[in-house]
Amino acid sequence: MNDAQLLRYSRHILLDELGVEGQQRLLASHALLIGAGGLGSPVALYLGSAGVGRLTVIDDDTVDETNLQRQIAHNLARVGRPKAESVREAVAALNPDVQVTALNQRADDTLLDAWVPTADVVIDGCDNFATRQLVNRACVRHGKPLVSGAAIRFDGQLGVFDPRVADAPCYACVFPPDAGVEEVRCATMGVFAPLVGIVGSMQAAEALKLLAGLGSRRTSHLLMLDGRELAFHDIALKRDPHCPVCGSAHGGASAVG
């Protein structure tokens, strides 16, 4: 690190758990962010301000005025522009040293297979069940840790799914792909503005700990948040040996090095 970086990241370097070595790991790391909306906004801003060296953002949506109630990386001047590009500008305003790649595309298997292997951590901030399943499968396939978050109305959740950890579940162990989950969206159900900030900030924290080599104690746990009471409920998770994604019968996590 140069003198300017030592000054910028001095409050991280003062932490015994991080120090110079941990900050250097952040500077050398690559995070892949799926979604540049309510959850992706705080994730991108915190990862960028903390000095993650490379950040790739995937989102095919554009900024709308209704987003501005909660999606803090965007502003009125960027309404109508691609969200991924808006996030790139927001991060650059905080920390121009971060290399941000904006992909104005929908996440599909081809795109994920191209980018997930290059990342040190994947953060899922998307807003639909089908994409979450695609992202999870790609992370299992390529052995990459996944930090998953969701928020709707006053309810949020956070999970860390790491195929590198023996016997750790994947997202599909908890939410099977064929579960017939009914899609709920902010446009019809609403969402409490600070809730996405809380969940997104926790996703950023878990991603930064993974990137800095501190690990995550959230693996094999699902954290549920009741925003009305500001109450957290921790649920222990187990890997499903018959999981269609990571189960050994399907060549899942056990086949990943």
CA distance 13 to 34: 28
Residue 119 pairs in a beta bridge with: none
Identify whether 186 is a catalytic site residue.
yes
Selection from 200, 187, 211, 174 nearest residue 72 by Cα: 200
- Say which of 139, 170, 173, 186 is annotated catalytic: 186
Residues 6+ positions from 11 with CB-CB distance below 8 Å: none
Q: What positions carry a catalytic annotation?
A: 186
